């Protein structure tokens, strides 16, 4: 399975060395139920390729979209996603909870 921390960092290094812009998204806080714990990471290339997981569902898609903006601007972002129990499954959270995800550009691309 290619989503251990060392695989994510290796992908970031490989993509950066091949000339791609790269960002890493990291879960920095969770409240309530969250499918991935704090410290979980997702690496994103400027072509939309990604590896790892910070949540799942549409949260992951939103993080990838925001990461592309971070790669383009070079400015990090703190993202927060939260839902009530009734709608949690619709957005990829196992039940009501909130996650905070920090997205930063890496490398010198």
pLDDT digits (tens, 9 = 90+) for 3-48: 566 789 899 999 999 999 999 999 999 887 777 889 999 999 999 9
Asked whether the predicted pLDDT for residue 58 surpasses 70, the reply is yes
Q: Look up the pTM and report it.
A: 0.83
* Coil, strand or helix at 52: strand
């Amino acid at each position: 399975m290619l989503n251990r921390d060392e695989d994510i960092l290796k992908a970031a290094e490989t993509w950066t060395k091949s000339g791609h812009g790269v960002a890493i998204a990291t879960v920095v806080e969770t409240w309530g139920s969250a499918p991935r714990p704090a410290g979980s990471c997702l690496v994103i290339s400027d072509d939309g390729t990604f590896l790892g997981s910070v949540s799942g569902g549409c949260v992951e898609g939103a993080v990838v979209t925001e990461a592309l903006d971070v790669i383009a601007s070079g400015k990090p972002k703190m993202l927060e996603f939260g839902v009530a129990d009734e709608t949690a499954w619709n957005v990829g959270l196992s039940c009501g909870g909130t996650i905070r995800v920090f997205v930063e550009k890496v490398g010198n691309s």
